[in-house]
Amino acid sequence: MFGKVFLGRLVDRLGNTKVFIISEFLMAFFILVLAISQDISTIIISSIILGMFTKGTVPILTAMVSESVDHHGRYEKAFSLNAVFVGMGSTIAPLFLGFLSDRYGIVNAFYTSSLLAIVATIPAFFYRRTQITPQNIS
């Protein structure tokens, strides 16, 4: 809950896209901290912060989906596609990372997870360029 409140306040100041991108980079950083840390206190604190960013970005993604479509009956398609891809990612990621962990070690699975968090920002950069603003509405 703290992540949703904290990131929600940041969204009010910076906007959905910026907060999403910053959150993904911070997630990648804290995943790396978890991968290399030996200190239990650092692991616990990093895990809490990582959870804050992980759960805090869920409403941001929902807002980005709703802002990306016009208000002429396309919400259903946008949210259904979002649900399908999020569901696929939620199913495939643990299987893929589990395979990597078994084959190449848990640290490499963490490194890959960190890389995937950064890759998740790529669509947000394109989304940011195509956002509807009051200046480009005719």
pLDDT of 130: 54
Q: What is the pTM of this model?
A: 0.80
> SS3 of 130, please?
helix
pLDDT at 118: 94
pLDDT in tens, 58-102: 888 878 877 777 666 677 777 888 889 889 988 999 999 999 999
3-state secondary structure of 72: coil
Two tokens at 79?
Answer: 């949210």
- Could you tell me which residue, 123 or 29, shows the higher pLDDT? 29
Please report where in the chains the tokens 């968090």 appear, as a residue.
117
Domain ranges of the chain: 2-130
Distances (CA, A) of 116 to 52, 95, 138: 18, 14, 37
